[in-house]
Amino acid sequence: MDPVRTEVVDGVLVVTLDRPSANAVDVATSLALYDAFARLERDPALRVGIVTGAGDRFFSAGWDLKAAAAGEAVDADHGPGGFAGLTELFERSKPVLAAVNGLALGGGLELALAADLMVVADHAELALPEVRVGVVADSGGLLRLPRRLPSAVAREMLLTGRRMAAAEAGRWGLANRVVPAGELMDSTLALAREIEAGAPLAIAAVQEVLAATASLDVAQGFRAMRSGGLPDYARMLASEDAVEGPRAFAEKRPPRWQGR
């Protein structure tokens, strides 16, 4: 059985991690996930991606400790997208949503954190327990979690490995939406369709500007945005869609995006 399944639903690429029983990730699975996310990026017919896990118990238990025990090194090369195919896939323009269907532990949470938005089933739990097995969350957890949570909360999770319930993730804003398990995919697809309603080049420009200015203050961010060094932002400004949007608004009709 392939460890990763893909399905296209109305221009959304749904990527399902399917490795019973815990959807753990080894090198081969990372490479398969990368292939799926690379397909999303290069196919103009695909606008948004969703990554989820098979079943309702695990989104992903993270690094496959059985593979590690069999000799897969802790610093193994997981391919151009890094662990789970997404954690180091920095230069991408299309949004990825994580539909967290169950436990997201260690590298599983790091995969969800690498996505742009997170929809979480109400029974799910999130944790970075790496210190309990002698390593650290160095596939993005150490870097991304403190940017998404108050420092003290993120530090507690990283130092203790404690689990965060879905409701708490929603209160802190780590989860964009917390929904009943039976509504998870419908809710995530609905959010994806809200993104699809925007102009493709504008969505790419948002992604590019956010990435380029993440470590800058507002004044520095403005300078970077106006520098001419952000190609997706420049393409958006000069696009036919930038003319079509205001025209459609004035004519009280839905815009017809061309992606150019």
Residue 27 main-chain phi, psi, to 5 deg: -60, -45
The amino acid at residue 164 is M
Helix, strand, coil share of the chain (percent; to 5): 45, 15, 40
* Closest by Cα among 225, 226, 260 to 243: 260
Which of 110, 183, 194, 251 is catalytic? The answer is 110
Which of 41, 125, 130, 156 is catalytic? The answer is 130
- 168 tagged catalytic: no
**How far apart (Å, rounded) are the C-alpha atoms in residues 69 and 200?**
44
The answer to whether 62 and 29 have CB atoms below 8 angstroms apart is no
Residues in Cβ contact with 169 at an 8 Å cutoff, skipping those fewer than 6 apart: 118, 120, 126, 175, 178
- 251 tagged catalytic: no
Catalytically active residues, by annotation: 110, 130
